[in-house]
Structure 1
């Protein structure tokens, strides 16, 4: 897994959370962002986390991760991806992009995807649910970095994923597709998870 890094996307506005910050929601006794940073760090890979600004409360939840401020975060996910890629060391051969609002993603899921990495010229790796529904994380080889730095808007890297070679990696249950953007989604997830 040498040359890999993890980029957690945590600069979004939580605009559908009715005034709450989804990344501060408690999971396993701690804020979700803290939990996700810890799970990422346990892979042994360097972890970078995009945040709205250095002064934002989320910055204090990132543990040992390197924070990457995204002053243009209002543009959408592309701004976070561009800033995150720009912050990576020059010797990075691949980056695993992980939205931080996915509480079912475990350390072993991240390691399972990383284990399939074929180097800086290999295919993009994309996690799927147990039944094949595409989700996250997505591991981009270095050859994709220039394209990632040209993204704009809130579509993330969808267009790149449609035109490039993608290898799908199945994760357990719904780990790759559970993202919680609304109070209702949080309530349903908590009800299902006791």
Structure 2
């Protein structure tokens, strides 16, 4: 059976306005937040990993040089998340059947659930399928979009991701339930960073 080509795009170009330091470069798990995410992605069945950077791009690019990923600068990152999403879509390999968008500040994702979401997409057999993770507090990220939605995603403007597309595509959305709430944690401030560090320490 032919392997489905699913591109993984990390949206790591945010300005980190709520933290003085760039959160994706904070130390975590013996490396950095962004490296922790990329290492997880590289262990999954994703066909390729693309990292979209903005703030401190030179530092990010230097880190990513150690990994088999494509690191791309989004010079328009201050306009909002949509610019990074569109940049990622433009960098995917020709013929990609799906694009899995990851957040650059969500380091507690895991291989098992990512691969289960990819499997659900493959089993659906439809380019219109969207697979989203759902926890006790509702829908979250990362989200996998089938190729039928790429053009709609390219039309998104400002500081938003694919939420509007998901809303329009409700009948095509597969919800993947994840019990573990820490899967969804994103590092928005110092308090959450400390929470993530504590969670990592407990896993060691």
User: TM-score, structure 2 length as denominator?
Assistant: 0.87
Whether 2:162 is the aligned partner of 1:161: answer no
Whether 2:132 is the aligned partner of 1:126: answer yes
1:136 counterpart SS class: coil
Write out aligned runs for 1:24-173 (5 A). Answer: 24-45=25-46, 46-52=48-54, 55-62=57-64, 63-117=67-121, 118-119=124-125, 121-129=127-135, 131=136, 133-165=138-170, 166-173=173-180
- Alpha carbons of structure 1 residues 176 and 136: separation in structure 2 relative to 1, 3 Å: farther
Provide the C-alpha distance between the structure 2 equivalents of 1:175 and 1:125, rounded to a whole number of angstroms.
Answer: 19
1:89 counterpart SS class: coil
Provide the C-alpha distance between the structure 2 equivalents of 1:149 and 1:107, rounded to a whole number of angstroms.
Answer: 28
Could you say which residue in structure 2 is the equivalent of 1:174?
181
Kept in 2: contact 1:119–1:141 (CA 8 A) = no
| Structure 2: gaps (5+ residues) | none
- Alpha carbons of structure 1 residues 4 and 193: separation in structure 2 relative to 1, 3 Å: closer
Kept in 2: contact 1:32–1:101 (CA 8 A) = yes
1:139 counterpart SS class: strand
Kept in 2: contact 1:6–1:98 (CA 8 A) = yes
**Deviation string for 1:139-167 (max 9, x for gaps)?**
00000000111111112112111111321
Aligned residues between the structures? 192
- Alpha carbons of structure 1 residues 145 and 94: separation in structure 2 relative to 1, 3 Å: same
2:52 counterpart SS class: strand
Provide the C-alpha distance between the structure 1 equivalents of 2:194 and 2:40, rounded to a whole number of angstroms.
Answer: 23
Could you say which residue in structure 1 is the equivalent of 2:21?
20
| Structure 1: gaps (5+ residues) | none
Q: CA deviation at 1:44?
A: 3.9
Question: Relative to total residues, which structure has the larger helix share, 1 or 2?
Answer: 2
Deviates more, 1:142-151 or 1:163-172: 163-172
2:176 counterpart SS class: strand
Q: CA deviation at 1:187?
A: 2.1
Provide the C-alpha distance between the structure 1 equivalents of 2:199 and 2:95, rounded to a whole number of angstroms.
Answer: 42
- CA RMSD between the two structures: 1.9
User: TM-score, structure 1 length as denominator?
Assistant: 0.91
Provide the C-alpha distance between the structure 1 equivalents of 2:57 and 2:131, rounded to a whole number of angstroms.
Answer: 34
Write out aligned runs for 1:180-191 (5 A). Answer: 180-191=187-198
- Alpha carbons of structure 1 residues 60 and 108: separation in structure 2 relative to 1, 3 Å: farther
